Amino acid sequence: EKAEIGLIGLGTMGSNLALNIAEKGHRIAVFNRTPARTQAFVESAGALRDMVVPCGSIEELAAAIRPPRPIIIMVLAGDPVDQQIAALRPVLAANDIIIDAGNANFRDTMRRFEELDGSGLTFIGMGVSGGEEGARHGPSIMVGGTPESYARVEDVLTAISAKYKGEPCAAWLGPNGAGHFVKTIHNGIEYADMQMIAEIYGILRDGLSMTPKQIAPVFAGWNKGRLESYLIEITASVLEADDPKTGKPVVDIILDRAGQKGTGKWSVIEAQQLGIPATAIEAAVAARVLSSMKDERLAAEKAYGANTLKFAGNKDEVLGDLELALFAGKIAAYAQGFAVMAGASKEFGWNLPMPTIAKIWRAGCIIRSQFLDTIAEAFGKADRSTNLLMVPAFVEIMGKAHPSLRRIVARAAEAGLPVPALSSALAYFDGYRQGRGSTDLTQAQRDFFGAHGFERIDEPGAHHGPWGSGS
Ligand code: NDP
């Protein structure tokens, strides 16, 4: 019996996705560049072995699938994807669908759509989030392509996706690069979310002198309220864990040098290209970069002396403020992420459905949370391009939360504790809600040295200042 679907790339994500697909009753043909990995995969398939057709070559893979063939590529992003597409082209036929499910840069996805245009083959660029566990038991799936091509794979994608109260976390979001773009911004938001949690942990550890074991229940408690989310949940679990080798809390033996694979950076680059402020995400990416400069930081600590400033305030009162500060920072970061998507939607003509995006992020993905349900509901009633900070439900929520963010950022600054993402989020909010800012001066300077002109508040048109020869 022929397989219904194919998959290339049996690494961490591909092998788990293949088992997920097989488990949902879809016979799947698989191929991996290194045959040993295919062998190991087949041996690990257990009860699902009968649903899997191992293939030793791309030709064998194509022959094993019933046309029109949907084939998922889940390999390292970049050149390997182009290589697999090139290898597939001669063995596929009209109407077959190539689905790139890796973390592609959406600009590569746009190019691949163009390259396959007129070939008779259909292409889908699909963002998948949820890590290994999500791939195996239900990821969040963000699809870019034609609605017709999505309709052809919708059944299998909704079957393998996560469910939020029964609703599948898989959706068609727009043409060509839309799915991979949304996945990139998902990751950018994830960077900001994680960085703000780490900043709050830093305040609890260094500002309030709490141990990991004392901090864990704080996060566990927050996970029962408005901050309920996967990232807060795992933060509590991480802080509880001890290192088997030394018996110390695991976090205390982990080097404070963060890695990154590039999707956060892409979010920031695209935000800059689109002219949309995404400062909390930028701060989070920069914080990982600064963290990697461990030797330089140690030298600087020596040069300036270790920080001995104290965090002011009564502990219980500070704990309440920290929770609300984290929530306010999160709102600003999500507002920025959604604003970047709104900007791209306009630029590329995607008409991205914001409530749907919030909905398919409610389960399966790394940033899944209760909060996304609130966003989905609030966005449901708003125009697609509205900034989250201006959606009525959020005007009320943020109105109550920002004073806590302000107190925490101020106290952290006084105590010499870095809170780059939280303070960027606050500065964004303060700038956003300030009807008259201070760039009147910037405009004057630009006109002074470069004759760039400025607009007047009382008269239309371009004007120049009375600066003499410079103007
Ligand atoms: P792994 O490193 O586990 O596996 C990589 C796979 O890519 C292997 O099957 C490997 O084959 C294949 N590969 C690499 N180079 C080539 C090539 N030149 N030609 C053919 N095949 C190649 O990666 P992951 O499963 O973690 O990631 C796969 C994709 O999914 C990436 O785009 C990643 O960014 C994305 N992703 C990963 C997530 C995660 O949590 N890990 C989450 C969401 C997306 P071989 O065995 O022959 O080396």
The topology under which CATH files domain 184-431 is N-(1-d-carboxylethyl)-l-norvaline Dehydrogenase; domain 2 (1.10.1040)
Q: Are 29 and 55 in contact (CB under 8 A)?
A: yes
- Spatial contact of 324 and 401, defined as CB atoms under 8 Å apart: yes
User: Does ligand 1 have an atom closer than 6 angstroms to the CB of 10?
Assistant: yes
Best substitution site from 33, 183, 261 to test ligand 1's pocket, by max atoms within 8 Å of Cβ? 33
Q: Is 248 a catalytic residue?
A: no
* pLDDT tens figures, 382-414: 787 899 999 999 999 999 999 999 999 999 999
Over 90: is that where the pLDDT of 327 sits?
yes
Distances 277 to 50, 173, 181, 332, 383 between C-alpha atoms, Å: 51, 23, 17, 11, 20
Q: Positive or negative, the Cα torsion across 168, 337, 435, 397?
A: positive
Residue nearest to atom 16 of ligand 1 (CA): 80
C-alpha dist (Å) from residue 195 to 25, 326, 424: 40, 10, 12
Q: What is the mean pLDDT of residues 308-326?
A: 93
Span 110-146, pLDDT tens digits: 999 999 999 999 999 999 999 999 999 999 999 999 9
Class of domain 439-470: mainly alpha
Q: What is the pLDDT of residues 165-200, one digit of tens each?
A: 999 999 999 999 999 999 999 999 999 999 999 999
Q: Where residue 470 falls among pLDDT bands split at 50, 70, 90?
A: very low
pLDDT tens, residue by residue, 417-469: 999 999 999 999 999 999 999 999 999 999 999 999 999 999 999 999 999 75
Which residue owns the Cα nearest ligand 1 atom 19?
A: 80
E strand or H helix at 216, and its extent? helix 212-222
- Domain 5-176: what homologous superfamily? NAD(P)-binding Rossmann-like Domain (3.40.50.720)
Confidence tier at 363 by pLDDT (50, 70, 90): very high
Summarize pLDDT for 38-85 with one digit per residue, the tens. 999 999 999 999 999 999 999 999 999 999 999 999 999 999 999 999
- Output the pLDDT for position 469: 59
Ligand 1 center–CA 397 separation, angstroms: 41
Residue 471: its pLDDT value, please? 43
| Residue ranges per structural domain of the chain | 5-176, 184-431, 439-470
Active site residue 183: yes
Lateral strand order in the sheet of 52-54: 52-54, 28-31, 5-8, 70-73, 97-100, 122-129, 140-144, 170-174
Q: Cα dist. 54→7, 9, 42, 61, 90 in Å? A: 10, 12, 7, 8, 20
Question: What pLDDT was estimated at residue 350?
Answer: 97
Distance 233 CA to ligand 1 centre (A): 27
